[in-house]
Amino acid sequence: MDFVDYYKTLGISKAATGADIKKAYRKLARKYHPDVNPNDKESHKKFQQINEANEVLSDPEKRKKYDQHGKDWKQADQYEKARQQQGAGGYAGGFGGQDFGQYTYSSGDDSSFSDFFESLFGGAKKSRQQAKYRGQDYNAELRLSLTNAYVTHKQTLTINGKNVRITIPAGVENGQVIRLKDYGSPGVNGGPNGDLYITFSVNNDTNFKREGNNLYKDEDLDLYTALLGGEKTIETLNGKIKLKVNSETQNGTRVRLKGKGYPVYKKEGEFGDLYLTWNIKLPVNLTDRQKELFTELSKL
């Protein structure tokens, strides 16, 4: 039975802080996790070694004992046995669950930790426990059009060969990520499932510009309606509406249509606003009579 250098296992120095240990463990756990390396016995062994090193170095008491007696583990083992015989009690070898983001390691039934660990900390052979591994998270991209995302609807995704039917609330944003708990890879040895993260890619298939829950659009208006006033039929994402146009409307005038914008995410019945900017179009191909009338008008 050889001495195990836990610092070397995690690739850190003896001066490493708790944050350094956690960071190193997370990086290596992602690399050697059983979900990432199925049926790879060497990676599984490496993962167990990483967990053992983290179990010791992330616990201040265990780390202190390891630093003091690690290389002299034989003497430490004899010392512990003497203490137990004297009723001082041994050092508990059980493990608490540790969540390090994407992967979770926790105690279970019948795992294997090195003889070195068991000799140094004691008790583990009597309650050998199997590691429970949290399943790997899945990531998926779902593409929608702006028109699709305007209404709440259902879609079926195929994730790792399984169909997952989800409800997409109206108003989802481009780049927005939602999490579906337990829809990731199954856990190992009774560990919890991973999660499914869906990123939405919303393509604008309209002539509206979206900013948050508001919509913006430039709308053409003929010269005569701008001068004299009247009505203009407007297309919205929720159908056509008739809008009153005031007389003497200036080019570039912005009109706000309250509640005619984009739906607010997960707030049924709430909408942003629609902002129209009038783009007054000058008439072309004038007849001689029309030119005469404009000439007369210009002289008034």
State pLDDT tens for residues 43-97: 888 988 898 888 889 889 888 888 887 666 455 555 455 555 544 433 333 333 3
Q: Any bridge partners for residue 196, and if so which?
A: 138, 180
Is pLDDT of 130 > 60? Answer: no
Please compute the mean of the pLDDT values over residues 179-193 and round it to a whole number: 86
- In this prediction, residue 84 carries a pLDDT of 52
- In angstroms, the CA 258 to CA 273 distance is 5
Q: Which strands form 254-257's sheet, in the order they lie side by side?
A: 209-211, 214-222, 274-281, 254-257
Q: Within 10 Å of residue 22's Cβ, how many Cβ atoms?
A: 18
- In this prediction, residue 101 carries a pLDDT of 37
- In this prediction, residue 67 carries a pLDDT of 85
Indicate the residue type of 241.
I
Is pLDDT of 109 > 60? Answer: no
- In this prediction, residue 151 carries a pLDDT of 95
Q: What is the pTM of this model?
A: 0.57
- In this prediction, residue 102 carries a pLDDT of 40
- In this prediction, residue 270 carries a pLDDT of 96
- In angstroms, the CA 70 to CA 93 distance is 16
**Residue 131 binned pLDDT confidence (cut-offs 50, 70, 90):** low
CB 39 within 8 A of CB 47: no
Is pLDDT of 145 > 90? Answer: yes
**Residue 4 binned pLDDT confidence (cut-offs 50, 70, 90):** confident
Pick the closest to residue 102 from 37, 46, 33, 189 (CA basis): 33
> What would the two tokens of residue 214 be?
């508001």
- In angstroms, the CA 50 to CA 54 distance is 6
- In this prediction, residue 85 carries a pLDDT of 54
Burial class (CB in 10 A: 0-12, 13-18, 19+), 68: exposed
Burial class (CB in 10 A: 0-12, 13-18, 19+), 262: buried
> What would the two tokens of residue 151 be?
């209404």
Between 102 and 92, name the one with better pLDDT. Answer: 102
Q: Which strands form 98-99's sheet, in the order they lie side by side?
A: 98-99, 104-106, 132-133
State pLDDT tens for residues 13-47: 999 999 999 999 988 988 888 777 878 888 888 98
- In this prediction, residue 19 carries a pLDDT of 93
Among 54-68, 123-137, 177-191, whose mean pLDDT is lowest? Answer: 123-137
> What would the two tokens of residue 101 be?
């983001």
Q: Any bridge partners for residue 257, and if so which?
A: 274
**Residue 104 binned pLDDT confidence (cut-offs 50, 70, 90):** very low
- In this prediction, residue 108 carries a pLDDT of 35
Q: Report which listed range, 106-110, 135-139, 239-243, is most confident.
A: 239-243
